Chains A and B, each alone.
Chain A
């Protein structure tokens, strides 16, 4: 099956830089909010910047929830959620007190409420990953490699075997989720120089394509 990447456009976030970086792999990349287009992808990227509740609204408005659930759970296509995109894969977020897609049974909390007042929220800047479960997506990433984070809400209480990596900032939160073809990353690989580009390459090249 020929690979094809579709970046899901639901009106939240910057898709340009992401498209540019994944385009360097000589694999067709499109940005789309159409279910018919999403169905043609082997690899989907669910990006996102902004408010969780509004993002779920946008997905509903674009009638994308059903097709995303079908691709993720029935078709088992490779899907990468980035930042808010990862949070949308969880069951629930305190941002808007809103249900998510629920692919990962865990929740997204307001970091402000769980950290000391001296810890400035949003978590903004470069931080490292502690890898918890081996997955091809983080091959070559070492404990000192820094990734770019910008988020005020974070994922906690994930099932141990689904935690790809964690990061510490006031509390230890889940900075990566994985279950076979489904991956979520709290940081922005597309903004994290060479380390991040390596992660995107791994997603495109190594993650299993399910026919």
Chain B
């Protein structure tokens, strides 16, 4: 039987792992290889690794680090951060990444998604859509670590990404990042209803119980979380954790 993936989302800053709140105030939480090792032990469904400063610094996530992760990980993992050329995607896949995540480049040059999908196949190309609500509640597409706002309708953009060959969309809520206030279910429901490719929701996940409840309505293909799997409780003490295989099966 098919079940959706529960995906730990790890943020890289330099060579270290950090966790943010609403995309700011990164707190150092440890060594990425140590975390990968632990998620191996926990038999995590999949890992997502994003270099949060790469696009701003106009560089790509470190190929060497991805190679190291590829040599350690027994599970599929996707990587993102500043990817902007076909050659970078080629290298990242060669060193072991299962899929690549296109964020800022997709916002700035949507046609690149089509080019990448034609070259590597739909299954390899993931587009991350960072969404921030204005104080009036309007959803805006943001990019470059939420430093820039695009003048694009979220739903139109999501459909364009599907049409251009994205194999999955990560819909990430900037406002809920690191807050434990719950997924943006309203947004996720509307996006998954309008699209025919898999959707993974990220940002605000409060507990694995929330996944169980949310899944009844949302029926997403993936649920991602950072804080939930790297902190113990809301006082943010670092403790890498993940549901056991038995717990996972009970969720769906």
Chain A residues packing against B (C-beta within 8 Å): 13-17, 20-21, 49-51, 54, 84, 112, 117, 120-128, 144, 146, 148, 150-152, 168-169, 188, 191, 193-194, 197
Residue pair A14, B94 in contact (C-beta under 8 Å)? yes
Of A49, A54, A151, the contact of B93 (CB 8 Å cutoff)? A49
Q: A16-B95, A49-B123, A191-B98 are in contact. Are A127 and B1 (CB under 8 A)?
A: yes
Q: Identify which of B196, B221, B249 contacts A117 (C-beta below 8 A).
A: B196
Residue from A14, A150, A152, A197 in contact with B95 in the complex, judged by beta carbons closer than 8 Å: A14
B192 to chain A, nearest CB (A): 8
Instruction: Show the binding face of B for A, using Cβ within 8 Å.
Output: 1-5, 43, 45-46, 67, 70-71, 73-76, 93-99, 118-124, 167-168, 192, 195-199, 221-222, 249
**CB<8 Å pairs between A and B, sample of 14:** A17-B71, A49-B120, A120-B192, A120-B195, A122-B167, A122-B198, A125-B3, A126-B2, A126-B45, A148-B76, A150-B123, A152-B122, A169-B2, A188-B76
Given A120-B192, A127-B1, list of 11 further CB < 8 A pairs?
A: A14-B97, A16-B67, A16-B94, A49-B121, A50-B120, A117-B196, A124-B221, A125-B45, A128-B1, A144-B249, A191-B76
State the 9 A-B residue pairs at the shortest beta-carbon distance, nearest first: A50-B121, A16-B96, A191-B76, A120-B198, A127-B2, A17-B96, A125-B5, A124-B198, A193-B43
* Chain A residues with CB below 8 A from B197, complex form: 120-122
In the complex, A54→B117 CA distance in Å? Answer: 12
A117 to chain B, nearest CB (A): 6
Query: B71 contacts which chain A residues (CB < 8 A)?
Result: 16-17, 20
Within 8 Å CB of A148, what residues of B?
Answer: 45-46, 75-76
Known: A125-B45, A168-B2. A51 touches B121 (CB 8 A): yes
A15's closest neighbor in chain B, by CB? B94
Complex CA–CA separation, A122 to B192 (angstroms): 14
Q: Give the one of B2, B97, B197 with max A CB within 10 A.
A: B2
Considering the chains assembled together, what is the distance between the CA atoms of A17 and B94 in angstroms?
Answer: 9
- Nearest Cβ on chain B to A54's Cβ, whole angstroms: 8
Given A50-B120, A121-B196, check contact A191 B74 (CB 8 Å): yes
Give complex CA distance A21, B2 in Å. Answer: 25
The answer to whether B221 and A125 have CB atoms under 8 Å apart is yes
Of the candidates B5, B95, B121, B196, which one forms a contact with A112 in the assembled complex, judged by CB atoms under 8 Å apart? B196
B120 touches A120 (CB 8 A): no
Question: Bound state CA distance, A65 and B73, in angstroms?
Answer: 32
Which one of A125, A126, A168, A194 has the greatest number of beta carbons of chain B within 10 Å?
Answer: A125
A50 CA to B75 CA, complexed, in Å: 19
Q: How far is the CB of A120 from chain B (nearest CB, A)?
A: 4
- In the complex, chain A residues whose CB is within 8 Å of the CB of B97: 14
Complex CA gap A64/B121 in Å reads: 22
